[in-house]
A and B are shown apart, each in its own frame.
Chain A
């Protein structure tokens, strides 16, 4: 874990309202594993006051890439940053996806901006000689980015590209026709989608890891701001920032 000022080396719009920033962050880039995140200080004013968490989307040599949607004041300011501007980042944070395991097929399921952690995961899965199938859901074709993903199946709400419906419905169709054995699901997206995915994985008894979001201030377990309810055990809550953001879907109860 490091706290570092880093420079923006590239900025790219990937889809409707969806941007990618690359940061020159050698030390942190080397330490980062798939599923981990950065807590980024958007600027040095007191409003917005808190850092914002972003999954690391890609690591390429010394650079880290994040993906984000413009959804509020913080991401609006971030979208206005230019190449050469500095950001203060804290990372890498959180527990990575567990890539190792007794499965042959990795099934990536992403809704909207939930695609963010998967380019980095895809690289690690392929290195680990896993087969990968990727399912992406978005509102429309314009909101979608498939960049750096493989074997992509698309679902859109309006049917402007691929399957018309939710990404979990598309996944169910795939499962019913392909009947894959020894598979593991990796999911990230809006809570409703992840609940549906978690139910699906539970009903088919498939191992499923989810990357959760939570409103957090510190990102390192101090502020206690990001609890997620645990399915069992002595403690009622886990913290998304240090015990996640990746969780086995059986271990958490999504709100």
Chain B
């Protein structure tokens, strides 16, 4: 049974990665997870300088989900290269480095520096963080800026370039098409949805930044619809993200057109989730008599049956 897939010239051993910001730089979980069971690790977002992140409170729980307003707290690209990359190089999985910056130039500078380093297999570009004042959504919600960013970064690297899209736009498919046309090798979606929660005792917002990014199982149906929409219009691989915590969840994303998935918030509850999801997909494929997990990609049967679904009962 073939589990591997490729983006550009890079092979991922299976179709399950861990999402940026939910797996640190890999070293935090070394006592708990054998990352050899993952298709890849996407690092915490990196910027040129270290970022402190937002003041507390940064997280709040919501029904089947959580809001965060971390504000891209990270060690900065230089400390990453010096202190984090050596460990990542020793891992038996594909390393995707996520970049989040505040300007075109900063994105380019970070990517240029990282492109010279050994041990980085691919880049994911976060143009869609809802929790920072500059960069983030001011790029990600502007189709022409997102496309321009993609083109500029494309010119700087031969490594796979994955653009991470926001759901906080009217038609994500326009953005998907625009970044494909600008040279992206893949798209990943969705980043978090803008959300808010209020403490009615104090009448204060539960996050210091008032609004934050919603993630977790609560957003899965939205993510699935966005991935479906994007996958209709592009030929490059789509990586599905949003509330995935089991193989069943992941298979839904593959069926609607995702070539791979990322497990995010579920890592906070159990960092071994990604490995379990990968094993579960493999077991499902074997049971279904498939030779390649890729046969699931886009295999949605759109003929809706008008009988009561068993899973309803």
Where the two chains meet, the residues of A that have a C-beta atom closer than 8 Å to any C-beta of B are 1-3, 41, 46-51, 88, 90, 214-218, 220-229, 235-237, 242, 255
What are the residues of chain A within 8 A of B268 when measuring CB–CB?
50-51, 217-218, 222-223
B91 interfacial contact with A, CB 8 Å: no
B53 interfacial contact with A, CB 8 Å: yes
B60 interfacial contact with A, CB 8 Å: yes
Q: Helix, strand, loop or mixed for chain A's interface?
A: loop
Q: Helix, strand, loop or mixed for chain B's interface?
A: loop
Whether A222 contacts B269 in the complex (CB less than 8 A), given A48-B61, A49-B217, A227-B56, comes out as: no
B29 interfacial contact with A, CB 8 Å: yes
What are the residues of chain B within 8 A of A218 when measuring CB–CB?
267-268, 271
B167 interfacial contact with A, CB 8 Å: no
B151 interfacial contact with A, CB 8 Å: no
Pair A216/B23 contact, Cβ less than 8 Å? no
Pair B56/A214 contact, Cβ less than 8 Å? yes
B171 interfacial contact with A, CB 8 Å: no
Partner of A49, one of B56, B66, B73: B66
Whether A220 contacts B66 in the complex (CB less than 8 A), given A41-B269, A50-B61, A215-B60, comes out as: no
B16 to chain A, nearest CB (A): 17
A78 to chain B, nearest CB (A): 15
B65 interfacial contact with A, CB 8 Å: yes
Return the chain B residue nearest A229 by Cβ: B55
B22 interfacial contact with A, CB 8 Å: yes
Pair A49/B23 contact, Cβ less than 8 Å? no
Return the chain B residue nearest A236 by Cβ: B52
Enumerate 13 A-B pairs (CB-CB under 8 Å) in ascending A order.
A3-B270, A46-B218, A47-B64, A48-B61, A49-B269, A218-B271, A220-B271, A222-B24, A223-B22, A223-B59, A223-B68, A224-B70, A242-B28
Where the two chains meet, the residues of B that have a C-beta atom closer than 8 Å to any C-beta of A are 21-24, 28-29, 31-32, 50, 52-53, 55-61, 63-66, 68, 70, 73, 216-218, 245, 265, 267-272
What are the residues of chain B within 8 A of A48 when measuring CB–CB?
61
- Contacts A49-B65, A222-B28, A237-B53 known; list 15 others, CB within 8 Å: A41-B269, A47-B64, A49-B66, A50-B61, A50-B268, A90-B32, A215-B58, A215-B60, A220-B271, A222-B29, A223-B22, A227-B53, A227-B56, A235-B52, A255-B56
Among A49, A225, A228, max chain B CB count under 10 A is at A49
Pair B32/A3 contact, Cβ less than 8 Å? yes
Pair B64/A46 contact, Cβ less than 8 Å? yes
How far apart are the CA atoms of A242 and B58 in the complex, in Å? 16
What are the residues of chain B within 8 A of A220 when measuring CB–CB?
28-29, 32, 271
Return the chain A residue nearest B68 by Cβ: A225
Whether A222 contacts B61 in the complex (CB less than 8 A), given A49-B66, A236-B52, comes out as: no
Return the chain A residue nearest B245 by Cβ: A46
How far apart are the CA atoms of A229 and B28 in the complex, in Å? 22
Pair A1/B32 contact, Cβ less than 8 Å? yes
Partner of A222, one of B22, B52, B66, B217: B22
